[in-house]
Structure 1
Amino acid sequence: MPALIVKQHYSAAELASYALSSVPTTRAALRVKAERERWPFVEVAGQGGIRREYTPPPSVLKEISDKAMKSVVAAVEPRRIKVGPENQIPLIATESQALVADARKGVLLALQTLMNRSGYAMKKAARVMLEMAQSGEANPQLVAMLKAARDGRGRQSPDGLPSVRSLIRFVEYDRSSALTPRHRGRDMSVPDWAPTFLGYYQKPEKPTVEHAYRMFATEWAASQAGGMPSIWQVRRFLDKVGKVTLEMGRMGSHEIKSIKPFIRRTFDTLLPSDVYTADGHRFDAEVQHPLHGQPFRPEITSVLDVATRRAVGWSVGLAESAFAVLDALRDAVVNGGIPAILYVDNGSGYKNELMTDAGTGLMARLGTEMINSLPYNSQARGIIERSHKTIWVNAAKQLPGYIGHDMDRQAKLNTFKLSRKAIKAQKAGETVAMPLIGWPGFVEFCKLKVDEYNNSPHRSLAKITDPTTGRRRHMSPNEAWELAVAKGFEPHTVPDDELRPLFRPQVLRTVHRGEIEVFGNRYASKYLEEFHTDQMRIGYDIHDPEKVWVYDPDGRFVCTAELNGNSRSYIAPSVTDRARDKRLDAKIKRLDVKHDTALRERHGAPALENMESVHIPGFINMTRDELARSRQAPLVDVTEVNFTDVEVVAAQPIVPDAPEWSVPNTPQERWDEWQRMELEGELQDRSEKQKRWRQTYQATPEFRMYQRKCA
């Protein structure tokens, strides 16, 4: 069956060949039906003379259209299409092909006009037209169309005009809707060596064509599979392969998305606070740490409203955490209201019990639905990802501690040396200015940058006329938000008395005898007496560990539990204080006695000043006068002493102190030492160190090993 063509007039042969259900399938029967139902027709001059072309009823035209559509759909139904000359997807004609087709249409229109006016047959009219063109009697425009319409593949005529046979062939082309000349395209067949070469080229290392060709040539020559292609043949083949198909294997599933088609999302129907998107960003510049002043890179969490692109909340933390996200959401709710949807990634700052728990999670208490994007699909969160560069990367480049990837390496190294040199100087006590911005100044700097972003034109927003300059420009996020408010938008805000309890993190804990344990601390309240063994929701403040807030499972506030609220002193403080005072008084009296004794020693009072006699048993018994006279007597002459009367006592040898005992160094010495102690038993006096070692040594694997050997 020939291809179905949707047009206004059809010949009987064409309608019969289409095999339609509403018309006969033979030309004679179809002509009878057309005459009986009086179908409109036009007379068309053909190769065999004048013939009729009918205008079928609307029902027949609809059947032709539906059948043609089904045939087109059937042609592209298979998903896998082999690339080859026989089933190559038809491409749009080139500009030169379109010019030739237009010229042929003009020539056929002129030929038809000539036939209608002169009554000549087609062949005679074509001959007359060419003769007039050759003699210069024809219109110059017609001559130009004849020259443009000829087929370049035929023989070249001296005047550049087509032949009569070519004009007749144009009529045949027109009947089959093939006026556009065929274009000899590139050979799209896949050579035998292509899969082997692509195995070396499509690798994640992304080798060059030359490098892949060298490895391929070695294998192809060893396999003796056929003729070796040149590198220029390889390059010509790669030029024929699609760009995405060529990068398969060289790019991963995440990277290749950057060259594939994508979905551009619209936000025209969104209202402010319908969708918030949040993400963390590690700042590309070093600042001073708020606790110790050392250089570090803070973590910034931003929250953007999708409808207006307004930065409704942000937070700066020491590292990415759930509490940094909590603080950014608190700021967003204060400035923009409670969102209906929070669109975030799959990071740990969002997928945790603090955010997602059905009973105590922040999303459940806010009534917000959190949607996580697919893994490795950062393009889906392009709004928040692009804002990082617009706000924070550009802000980091304005600070002296910028260390981004595009920073000059030498300048980055110089800044690093200056900051570390200042740290060493400050540790040494020297006064040196730190080249990095301090924490309070950095927080204020971030606030200014967010305000600057919200007041700057955003190219994704609608255009307005600037009231100052009178020129057209895009709206800023703040202007888009104010426009929505002017149209009647009201954010879902939270009263001040509910804001702090709402953003306190909550955990589930069981009450036991009026006590609750949270993060190792005990909190108690007398109002929890009747809630023994009940599970309660406990709200806590990360900055104030002195108390917690207790709620029942339905969220009703019960009481405030104090840290160690049921703790009492072991003994009454008054009794303890009285005992401490008594102990200190006794200590002071003892110190006073020592103080008086030390003062008497300083003045040097004689020890025998008031004594009438001196009596030391076994040594002396004298009065004061006898003692005074003995002091004036001459010294005894040693030569007059009779040493025979002196009792000689044998001198005792001086025994040096025994060296302090130490643990032996080698395993054998330790085992021998333990055996010696075991033999001596308890008769030998030992130090505490020896006793303690003897007890601990018996529990070691070394002792058990020697014990088994000697058993």
Structure 2
Amino acid sequence: MPKLPKTARSIHRKAKSEGWKFRDAAGKGGRNGTRREYHIDNLPKETRDALLEQAISNVSEDLCALPAVKAEALPAVPAENLPAPAALARWQRDTMDARCAILNLVEQLAETHGLNKAIAKVVAQAKAELLPEHIQSLVTVANARSGGQMGKQTLSRRTLYRWRELRGLGVTALAPREAAQKPLPGWVPYFLKVYRVPQKLSVPDALEQLACILPDCMEMPSESQCYRLLKKMSNVDREKGRRTGNEMRALKGYRVRDTSDMVPGEVYQCDGHSFKARVAHPVHGKPFKPEVCAVIDAATRLVMGWSAGLSESNQTVADALRHAITITPEKPYGGVNAIFYTDPGSGNLAKINADPAFGRYARLGITFKTGIVGNSQARGLVERLQQSLWIRAAKQLPTFCGRDMDGTTLYKTTKLVDAQVKKTGTSELLPSWPQFLDVCAQAVERYNNTPHSSLPKITDETGKRRHMTPLEMWNSFLARGWTPATMTDAELDDCFRPRVQVTTRRGQVRVLGQTYYNPELVHHGGEQVFAEYEVQDGSRVWVRDMDERLICIARFEANHSRMFARSATEKAMEDREARRLEVVDRKREEIMEERRGVIELTPTPEAIEARRELVIEMAAPQEAMEIPADDRGRYRLWCRLDARMDRGDALTDREAQFYRSFKKTRVWRAFRDVEEDLAIAK
């Protein structure tokens, strides 16, 4: 050390001769377990400076490795005007930690050299960039500006004293404040009004609309300004008005439906789907897209039943539900469910299914629930099934017409199939109805035996860890002693016959416009009864009283205009044929009108006279009135005319015509909407 003797003996002799202050402390290095410690103020200035530099250079990196500030380590309620720890950005935390590290260094040096000397030495070495590397690198971070930009390389006494005072208020007081948010420009609400529309205008298109409604006192923004504004907004705020319904909900949070505590049969979900491949119609053989319907168990993800039909109908839903309940040797799973959850489609809500008194659901003892219109996310379980089951099956067919199909190939395949069907009545690419049903059955079997990602994991016989299949999940419940609620074939037939409420008259009931008779009904004349019928057999109906006791089976009576019985299926086919012919007739009339072209009319004497008066009126001199070429000028002219109208002043014909016509334009509505929304004075 400078200005000190080289040996301990010489130092003790110098201290004794100069009268240094000392104290005896326990420790190694002295006589009888004590050593003499001299006060640092007794040392020469050069010695004290050297010791201070040595202490700074020996600072360990652990002093800088500060743990992140935890909310639980601070008071429950931060001091007034102090930022909450959770609200700090990353750059604010880094700056706060760097300032803490530098203050820790100062406090450590102050214990032996005094606060003023410690601060002065740290400031001097920071300016000369002589601090240890891990400390010197924190100086720019500690001096960071708002937003995390690196600050200067030096420190000052005033800065370090200010940081010490701030840390006394709380650790988060060392975090720099964020810059105050600048107010939004005046053009922002006008721009958002034309940008937040369902048409999803681009920024350039929105700027064109903005030019029509922006007041003269405001400067038009550039495209870059608009893009920066949109970038700062959240997805939900930016897309407000541009998206609605499902599209908007896709940007927001959602609720996860948990089925882990459910048992099989507790909830069945059902949904129809337009099959994304063309197949041969079972009646006329022409290509069409059938309707398929699946019922899935929420607890096991097992497809309990399915059906296919020509179009969406209540019968397709009923067939799928009946298939889900039925248990056969070929289908060893099924049972009556407690809740039937569907979308509010016409087939699900049909009175024959959903009527609370005599609908199929009520007769089965099933609670019927529907989701909210347009909220398909709530039925995500069965909605996702369409992709995994039906669309995957449709992709196996050459006539697949989903959105994933190549457009050129789809066009060529469609033209080829249509040409072959028109020429021969069939096509080698077009699956027949039985082939389509086989594809559906195989797809359901494959789905039920494929591991499902939402089911628990097991270790199979090969030692591989994988998810359970829906069928394995079903069997696991059976192995634990659970049994499904079942029905006999006779009970199913009884519950799934469509039922209507009718009145008996002289032993007769009328169902679907046809008359059925049984002598037993004579004793129930004028009473309200339930009449059940078979969809494919219109020869008889089952008549029950209001307590659902069977009265009799009434047979078709030949007192109807039709000689032979007509089943519900035949009636539905005739109704569908009539609707399709009506569409064809409208199209034919449209084509014939286009073919006729312009219709020649012979003017009447009244029309000739009206035309002569119109020519005279148009030839008369008009009052001079200048109509501005720009939209803002025309709107101001209309406002002046409107003020004159309020005062009771008369308008010229041309002014009145402009006043009436301009009010009907899009420009007038745009200006008026802005005035109403933003309370702009006229």
Is the TM value for this pair above 0.5?
A: yes
**Aligned-pair CA distance for 1:143:** 4.9
Q: What SS does structure 1 have at the residue aligned with 2:543?
A: strand
Q: What SS does structure 1 have at the residue aligned with 2:348?
A: coil
1:355-370 to 2 correspondence within 5 Å?
Answer: 355-370=353-368
Indicate the residue corresponding to 2:195 in structure 1. Answer: 201
Q: In the aligned structure 2, how far is the partner of 1:481 from the partner of 1:538?
A: 38
Q: What SS does structure 2 have at the residue aligned with 1:326?
A: helix
8 Å CA contact 2:302, 2:474 repeated in 1: yes
Indicate the residue corresponding to 1:667 in structure 2. Answer: none
Indicate the residue corresponding to 1:327 in structure 2. Answer: 319
Specify which of 436, 450, 454 is matched with residue 448 of structure 2. Answer: 454
Indicate the residue corresponding to 1:339 in structure 2. Answer: 337
Q: 1:296 to 1:146 in 2, by over 3 A?
A: closer
Specify which of 99, 105, 124 is matched with residue 100 of structure 2. Answer: 105
Q: In the aligned structure 2, how far is the partner of 1:157 from the partner of 1:296?
A: 71
Question: Structure 1 residue 96 and structure 2 residue 88: aligned?
Answer: no
1:665-676 to 2 correspondence within 5 Å?
Answer: none
Indicate the residue corresponding to 2:407 in structure 1. Answer: 409
1:173-572 to 2 correspondence within 5 Å?
Answer: 173-177=166-170, 178-182=172-176, 184-185=178-179, 187-220=181-214, 223-334=215-326, 335-426=333-424, 433-468=427-462, 470-564=463-557
Q: List per-residue Cα deviations over 1:31-82 (Å, max 9, x = no partner).
A: xxxxxxxxxxxxxxxxxxxxxxxxxxxxxxxxx988x49x99xx9xxxxxxx
What TM-score, normalized to structure 2? 0.64
**Aligned-pair CA distance for 1:137:** 9.5
After TM superposition, the structure 1 stretch with the greater mean CA deviation from structure 2, 91-100 or 558-567, is 558-567
Q: List per-residue Cα deviations over 1:272-305 (Å, max 9, x = no partner).
A: 1111111111111111111111111111111111
Counterpart of 1:378 in structure 2: which amino acid? Answer: S
Q: 1:436 to 1:180 in 2, by over 3 A?
A: farther
Q: In the aligned structure 1, how far is the partner of 2:230 from the partner of 2:434?
A: 57
1:47-196 to 2 correspondence within 5 Å?
Answer: 68=77, 92-115=87-110, 117-118=111-112, 122-130=115-123, 141-145=134-138, 148-151=141-144, 160-177=153-170, 178-182=172-176, 184-185=178-179, 187-196=181-190
Indicate the residue corresponding to 2:45 in structure 1. Answer: none
Q: In the aligned structure 2, how far is the partner of 1:151 from the partner of 1:421?
A: 75
8 Å CA contact 1:525, 1:566 repeated in 2: no
Q: In the aligned structure 2, how far is the partner of 1:382 from the partner of 1:531?
A: 50
8 Å CA contact 2:245, 2:375 repeated in 1: no
Q: List per-residue Cα deviations over 1:112-138 (Å, max 9, x = no partner).
A: 4444x43x6544443355567789997
Q: What SS does structure 2 have at the residue aligned with 1:507?
A: strand
Q: 1:181 to 1:292 in 2, by over 3 A?
A: same
Q: 1:558 to 1:157 in 2, by over 3 A?
A: closer
Counterpart of 1:366 in structure 2: which amino acid? Answer: L
Counterpart of 1:323 in structure 2: which amino acid? Answer: Q
Q: 1:564 to 1:423 in 2, by over 3 A?
A: same
Q: What SS does structure 2 have at the residue aligned with 1:480?
A: helix
After TM superposition, the structure 1 stretch with the greater mean CA deviation from structure 2, 200-209 or 124-133, is 124-133
Q: List per-residue Cα deviations over 1:259-280 (Å, max 9, x = no partner).
A: 1222222211211111111111
8 Å CA contact 1:524, 1:565 repeated in 2: no
Q: What SS does structure 2 have at the residue aligned with 1:545?
A: coil
Q: In the aligned structure 2, how far is the partner of 1:96 from the partner of 1:216?
A: 38
**Aligned-pair CA distance for 1:404:** 1.9
Any stretches of 5+ residues in structure 1 without a counterpart?
Answer: 1-63, 76-86, 568-711
8 Å CA contact 2:340, 2:367 repeated in 1: yes
8 Å CA contact 2:267, 2:337 repeated in 1: yes
8 Å CA contact 1:150, 1:166 repeated in 2: no
8 Å CA contact 1:315, 1:324 repeated in 2: yes
Q: In the aligned structure 1, how far is the partner of 2:310 from the partner of 2:208?
A: 51
Q: In the aligned structure 2, how far is the partner of 1:497 from the partner of 1:100?
A: 79
CA RMSD of aligned residues (A): 3.3
Q: What SS does structure 2 have at the residue aligned with 1:349?
A: helix
Q: What SS does structure 1 have at the residue aligned with 2:93?
A: helix
Q: In the aligned structure 1, how far is the partner of 2:131 from the partner of 2:409?
A: 78
What TM-score, normalized to structure 1? 0.62
Q: List per-residue Cα deviations over 1:134-192 (Å, max 9, x = no partner).
A: 899976545555564345699x999x342232222122221233344426558452100
Q: In the aligned structure 2, how far is the partner of 1:345 from the partner of 1:147?
A: 61
Q: In the aligned structure 2, how far is the partner of 1:551 from the partner of 1:490?
A: 32
Q: In the aligned structure 2, how far is the partner of 1:440 from the partner of 1:275?
A: 31
8 Å CA contact 1:540, 1:549 repeated in 2: yes
Q: What SS does structure 2 have at the residue aligned with 1:224?
A: coil
8 Å CA contact 1:123, 1:168 repeated in 2: no
Q: In the aligned structure 2, how far is the partner of 1:272 from the partner of 1:254?
A: 30
8 Å CA contact 2:417, 2:429 repeated in 1: yes
Q: List per-residue Cα deviations over 1:184-224 (Å, max 9, x = no partner).
A: 5584521001111222222222121122223323544xx42
Q: In the aligned structure 2, how far is the partner of 1:157 from the partner of 1:98?
A: 15
Q: In the aligned structure 2, how far is the partner of 1:97 from the partner of 1:548?
A: 81
Q: In the aligned structure 2, how far is the partner of 1:566 from the partner of 1:230?
A: 81
**Aligned-pair CA distance for 1:555:** 2.1
Q: In the aligned structure 1, how far is the partner of 2:336 from the partner of 2:394?
A: 30
How many percent of aligned residue pairs carry the same amino acid?
36
Indicate the residue corresponding to 1:587 in structure 2. Answer: none
Q: In the aligned structure 2, how far is the partner of 1:281 from the partner of 1:143?
A: 68
Q: In the aligned structure 2, how far is the partner of 1:517 from the partner of 1:144?
A: 95
8 Å CA contact 1:525, 1:565 repeated in 2: no
**Aligned-pair CA distance for 1:556:** 2.4
1:27-46 to 2 correspondence within 5 Å?
Answer: none
Q: In the aligned structure 2, how far is the partner of 1:88 from the partner of 1:509?
A: 74
Q: What SS does structure 1 have at the residue aligned with 2:555?
A: strand
Q: List per-residue Cα deviations over 1:606-641 (Å, max 9, x = no partner).
A: xxxxxxxxxxxxxxxxxxxxxxxxxxxxxxxxxxxx
Q: In the aligned structure 1, how far is the partner of 2:311 from the partner of 2:141?
A: 73
Q: In the aligned structure 2, how far is the partner of 1:412 from the partner of 1:225?
A: 56
Q: 1:341 to 1:411 in 2, by over 3 A?
A: same
Q: 1:107 to 1:440 in 2, by over 3 A?
A: same
Q: 1:433 to 1:356 in 2, by over 3 A?
A: closer
After TM superposition, the structure 1 stretch with the greater mean CA deviation from structure 2, 369-378 or 411-420, is 411-420
8 Å CA contact 2:141, 2:151 repeated in 1: no
Instruction: Report how many aligned residue pairs link the two structures.
Output: 478
Counterpart of 2:277 in structure 1: which amino acid? Answer: A
Q: In the aligned structure 2, how far is the partner of 1:566 from the partner of 1:418?
A: 50
8 Å CA contact 1:188, 1:240 repeated in 2: no
Q: 1:267 to 1:138 in 2, by over 3 A?
A: same
Q: 1:95 to 1:359 in 2, by over 3 A?
A: closer
Q: In the aligned structure 1, how far is the partner of 2:298 from the partner of 2:151?
A: 68
Q: 1:514 to 1:88 in 2, by over 3 A?
A: farther
After TM superposition, the structure 1 stretch with the greater mean CA deviation from structure 2, 449-458 or 239-248, is 239-248
